[in-house]
Amino acid sequence: MGSGKTAVGQQLAEQLNLDYLDCDELIEKTARMSISDIFAKKGEPYFRDLETGVLETLQDYDGFVLSTGGGMVMREKNVALLKQLGPLVLLWAGPDTIYQRIRRQTHRPLLNVPDPKLEIRDILAKRAPAYNRAADHKVDTSQLNVTETVEEIKQWLGSK
């Protein structure tokens, strides 16, 4: 969250002449409710099951860039499904950068807490090992704009 997944994913897909898919949007269409409502009414485990289901439905498709939520790689099954779709690029940003980028957003269910900055630090600390294991390439977006991030990814893809 706040690392630039949506903006980078959209621009990368456009420049590579691919479709852009957002996993959270696909989940909302499948569940017919917002991510916030899914968390509030059904809980995080249900949401995580929906993430896995979306990945399973994408296995027969190609020609797209997929943005996923930050918790996606916490399940090894999801990592395996993602790897079948293509290379995994981790967009990383430090907790202070993330907080500055998302502090005014109200649609982040994991941050509806008294101290969102502390929650961001906790989430990153818990997820960093899984992120680093899953990522084929990591881009720190803290000091990069969207165009610079896209160029970094394209260069990496071109060198593979």
Q: Quote the percentage of the chain above a pLDDT of 90.
A: 76
CA angle 128, 100, 150 (to 5 degrees): 65
Domain 5-143 classified CATH 3.40.30.10? no
Q: What is the 3-state secondary structure (H, E, C) of the chain?
A: CCCCHHHHHHHHHHHCCCEEEEHHHHHHHHHCCCHHHHHHHCCHHHHHHHHHHHHHHHHHCCCEEEECCCCHHHCHHHHHHHHHHCCCEEEECCHHHHHHHHCCCCCCHHHCCCCHHHHHHHHHHHHHHHHHHHCCEEEECCCCCHHHHHHHHHHHHHHC
Backbone φ and ψ of 10, nearest 5°: -65, -45
Q: What is the pTM of this model?
A: 0.87
| Tens-place pLDDT, residues 120-150 | 999 999 999 999 999 999 999 999 999 999 9
| Tens-place pLDDT, residues 17-35 | 999 999 999 999 999 999 8
The domain spans of the chain are 5-143
Contact between 28 and 35 (Cβ < 8 Å): yes
Q: What's the gap between Cα 69 and its chain centre?
A: 3
